[in-house]
Amino acid sequence: MQLALLGGFVVAALAPLLHRWFGARTPLVMALLPAAIAAWLLAQWPTIAAGEVLLLEWAWVPGLDITLTFLIDGLAWLFALLITVIGALVFAYTGDYLRGHRDLPRFLMILAAFMMSMLGLVLADNLVTLFVFWELTSITSYLLIGFQHTDPDARKAALQGLFVTVGGGLALLAGFVMLGLAGDSWSLHELNARGDILRDHALYTPLLICVLLGAFTKSAQFPFHFWLPNAMAAPTPVSAYLHSATMVKAGVYLLARLHPALGGTEAWVVTLSLVGALTMATGAFLAIRHTNVKLLLAYSTVMALGTLTLLLGIGSETALIAYVVFLLAHSLYKGALFMVAGILDHATGTKDVTAMGGLRHTMPRTALVAAVAALSLAGLPPLLGFVGKELMLESVLEAEAWRGGILLLAFVAAFLTLAVAAIVALRPFFGVRHETPRAPHEAPGAMLAGPALLATLSLLFGLVPGVLDGLVTATVAGLGAPGAEVHLALWHGLNLPLVLSLASLALGLLVFRHWDRLRAGLGRLEPLMARGPEAGYEALMAGMVALAEWQTRFLQNGYMRNYLVMTLLVLLGLVGHALLVRHSPSLDFHVDVHLHEAMVVGLMVAGAIAACVMRSRLAAVAAVGIMGFSIALTFVLFSAPDLAITQLLVETLTVILLVLVLFRLPRFATLSTPVERLRDLVVAGLAGGMITLLMLAVLGGERLPRISDYMVANSQPLGHGHNIVNVILVDIRALDTLGEIYVLALAAIGVYAMLRFHAGEYDAQRPSAPSRRDDG
């Protein structure tokens, strides 16, 4: 499975190549990948249904306890299946939606990469791995929202989505680290078994806050909901896939995943219930203000995500069952509706539902699909959405905290959602025929197949919800309610949820009838809306830019001398603190110097002093060169030939680079005042003193075992090499070296870019230091 996942990334990278081979059929070819994974998942069903948990182990970085182990229980299985099945349909749909688009290969590449990241996210058992995939979904989502990168609105929306989710991701990382420390494990299935320890741990509250921040931003919970509707700038397949069926569910997936470990406390119940209920009502309320079909659907997605959070907050067995059913129902109908929205946009050239009408004559099949999916969204029988909504209302009645308030919010959300469903399904297809920018036509088969299949499933599962019993049981077991008795049914008897449903039906239809007038009325609230959380985000961004400007002017003013002073001062503060406070070094020199050693050191000192006082640049360079060669000589004296060679070569190349740069520098001038020079002298003296102390502490300290002994002992037997320095560089510490050559490559690109594109601008202040590195 891991290989399939990693292979998926390779397939993503190969998308442009595949496009060259298969042309317009590429999306269908690429749909085979998720289809194959879905088939594999289906083959695992007997195991999952038996309540077993598949643990596919794979060590990744054993030294850091990071694994690529996959954990497939009911919850992960359900999510993975949704991701792959809807993924396959979306690929097929994309083929027609973006037919002939110039950037189709790029789109497919990112979409496939997203799919694999999302799959990794729901399957990962390790916190670190989960986090890596989590961030990958944020980044691919950013690229997909900004797919139409020539449109400034799309770019802005993409950045907003990225900042909100990645900002939350940062909190999540902190939360995960605390979680790992508190539970003494990085593995989710082990953490879930240690729920009692975690809930009583001193770190529980801070880690909960951080994890919730991560999950809430990802799943667009109030007050972070604003990025999701803006993300509708993405092409419709993306909206259908990322921003309704999969990525935005990552947050509620994580909450569900951690429910056994963290759930059930008062903080958890109250926060999740309130945030969820607020999000529900806000989403549904904001939805009916819009006439853009994608925005209507996006806000109703916000509402659905709120519902899922609320259900996890309530946390009773019914609520967990409701969570699973609602999740499945929502993925099915919302995926279908978004694809229908894309079809409408494609066929008519507008996204505004008030501009469409009477399309059922020209697009009868699309109308049918839309109607079925919308019935499920509205929560009407006999669709799966109805089962989900009934269960939701039933769980709300069981809520322990704030029951009345939550019930009210849930009821408001329910009837407004019903109105949204009616608007989406009825406005475009019924009523008077409007002139649209494009002459409408029925959708091609490949585009309609996806939504039709999803809508059919909604209907099928709604008619015989009993077929889902096994799946729901298995999933709920992963949520911390093992052995639940699940009997889904369409008819729950005449009870309070049914009454509430009927009331919401009446109210919802009322809202639909008077929608146009209602919208006009709500328009007057616009000034108030402008002060919503999004304004807070804008202010935050503006503040960040201002701060960045200030600190750039202060710290990075383009003068090399300031950079040096700043760097040295920071170093002095950090290292000096550690050295003086923690180790209190002693000043005992063991002077045992030969005459030739003293001479080399004297040469070094003379070179340094000369470099400082020389009144000519060439002479200063020569003086620095003397210093460098003396250092090389020191390496030779202490038998470190590798270092000596490196030092000599670097000195030589420095000369070459300086020759190239020297003539381009301005005339030698004294720019600093005597006071500044005094300050520099103090900083330099302190830095030198600190390094001396550091050296003494390192040489004198017996506290740490000498790591070099290990390297000397193992370089031949393990590294098969006699040159210890090189074995360290390319084998024992190869990861460090990889980082170093990466930095070197970046430096090269930086130099190139600076000289190539800003040759005139930076002429006066080009840093002339060559890329050096600290060897050994």
Partner 1 sequence: MVRSGTLILNVAARLLLPLQLLFSLFLLLRGHDEPGGGFIAGLVASGAFALYLFAYGRRALDAMLKVSPRDLVGMGMLLGVGATLPGWWQGEPFFTAQWWTVPIIDFKASTPLIFDVGVYLVVLGSVLTAITALVQTDHEDDAAG
Residues that bind partner 1 (CB under 8 A): 59-63, 641-642, 645-646, 649-650, 652-653, 656-657, 660-661, 663-664, 719-723, 725-727, 729-731, 734-735, 737-738, 741-742, 744-745, 747-749, 751-752, 755-756, 759, 770-771, 773, 775
Question: In this structure, what token pair is assigned to residue 773?
Answer: 């590195």
* Length of the chain (residues): 776
Q: Residue 51 CB, nearest distance to partner 1 (Å)?
A: 30
Q: Residue 640 CB, nearest distance to partner 1 (Å)?
A: 9
Q: Which is nearer to partner 1, 442 or 731 (CB)?
A: 731
Q: Residue 770 CB, nearest distance to partner 1 (Å)?
A: 7
Q: Residue 59 CB, nearest distance to partner 1 (Å)?
A: 6
Which residues are CB-neighbours of 165 under 8 A, at least 6 positions away? 138, 141, 217, 218, 227
231 in Cβ contact with 156 (< 8 Å): no
Bridge partners, residue 352, by sequence:
292
Considering only CA atoms, which of 345, 366, 328 is closest in space to residue 449? 366
Q: Which is nearer to partner 1, 377 or 727 (CB)?
A: 727
Q: Residue 647 CB, nearest distance to partner 1 (Å)?
A: 10
Q: Residue 726 CB, nearest distance to partner 1 (Å)?
A: 4
326 in Cβ contact with 442 (< 8 Å): no
Query: Which three-class secondary structure state does DSSP give residue 54?
Result: strand
Bridge partners, residue 215, by sequence:
none
Q: Which is nearer to partner 1, 544 or 759 (CB)?
A: 759
* Alpha-carbon span 374 to 737, nearest angstrom: 57
Q: Which is nearer to partner 1, 533 or 770 (CB)?
A: 770
What end-to-end distance do the CA atoms of the chain give, in Å? 40
Q: Which is nearer to partner 1, 52 or 731 (CB)?
A: 731
Q: Which is nearer to partner 1, 513 or 773 (CB)?
A: 773
681, burial (CB in 10 Å: exposed 0-12, middle 13-18, buried 19+): exposed
Region of 23 (left: φ > 0; alpha: ψ -120 to 50; beta: rest) is left
**The dihedral formed by the CA atoms of 498, 501, 503 and 505, expressed in degrees to the nearest 10:** -140
Sequence letter at residue 310: L
Q: Which is nearer to partner 1, 2 or 362 (CB)?
A: 2
Bridge partners, residue 72, by sequence:
54
Q: HEC states along 596-624? A: HHHHHHHHHHHHHHHHHHCCCHHHHHHHH
Q: Residue 134 CB, nearest distance to partner 1 (Å)?
A: 21
Element (H, E) at 55: strand 54-56
Give the up-direction half-sphere exposure of residue 488: CA atoms within 13 A in the CB hemisphere: 31
Q: Which is nearer to partner 1, 593 or 659 (CB)?
A: 659
* φ/ψ of residue 743, rounded to 5: -60, -40
Q: Which is nearer to partner 1, 354 or 771 (CB)?
A: 771
Q: Residue 761 CB, nearest distance to partner 1 (Å)?
A: 12
Which residues are CB-neighbours of 247 under 8 A, at least 6 positions away? 114, 118, 137, 141, 218, 241
Question: In this structure, what token pair is assigned to residue 421?
Answer: 């469903």
Q: Residue 737 CB, nearest distance to partner 1 (Å)?
A: 6
Q: Residue 34 CB, nearest distance to partner 1 (Å)?
A: 25
Q: Which is nearer to partner 1, 209 or 661 (CB)?
A: 661
